[in-house]
Amino acid sequence: MNTIICKRVPLIASAKTWLAALTVAARDVVSSHQTFVHRPAMHSIFWFKFCKGYCMLYRLGGIYIGVRKGWNSWNTSSLVGVERTAASQTTIEDVFIRKFIFGTFHRLFLSEIIIKRRANLIVVAGIVHQSIAQTKIYFLVGYTEQILSYILKCVVKMDIQTTHDPKALIVKHI
């Protein structure tokens, strides 16, 4: 684990790293059976840092969805009386919206994309890194709203916030 110093790694690290972590976890377990301790907060770890512990972002604490934080998609397709095809169509549209926005705002989104549906209005929210000029961000927002409104046949509004420092999203150090 000490070989990773101030390096950003994906959630799924190499098998060798996870095997070493499980071996260390297995040594800490004192029990009569040979199973590993379930640590639900382990999937929330985003950055490995040397001598500073781990940094956890708000979006990565998956065990708190519905308790302390909300879902990434808000829609009414699962209500009683809504057609079954509407639920699958809503999910496919949400995936399309996320992929389109990640392609349009390439490497600019720092948070998850939040999609909220209200009647005939789709609100897309998120936090964007302020590494390009404001006029370009305004253009990308307008372009995204117009194209998605044309494709999805309903009004699309984007509510984005910008930040200079990506470390401002860190909730706590573990």
Question: What is the enclosing helix (H) or strand (E) of 57?
Answer: strand 53-57
Phi then psi for residue 124, to 5 deg, are -110, 125
d(CA 79, CA 56): 34
Q: Write down how long the chain is.
A: 174
pTM of the shown model = 0.60
User: 57-66 long-range CB contacts below 8 Å, 24 or more apart?
Assistant: 57/111, 57/169, 57/170, 57/171, 58/111, 58/169, 58/171, 59/111, 59/112, 61/171
pLDDT in tens, 161-174: 999 988 777 766 66
Domains, the chain: 7-64 (no CATH), 73-168 (3.30.300.20)
pLDDT in tens, 90-108: 888 999 999 999 999 998 9
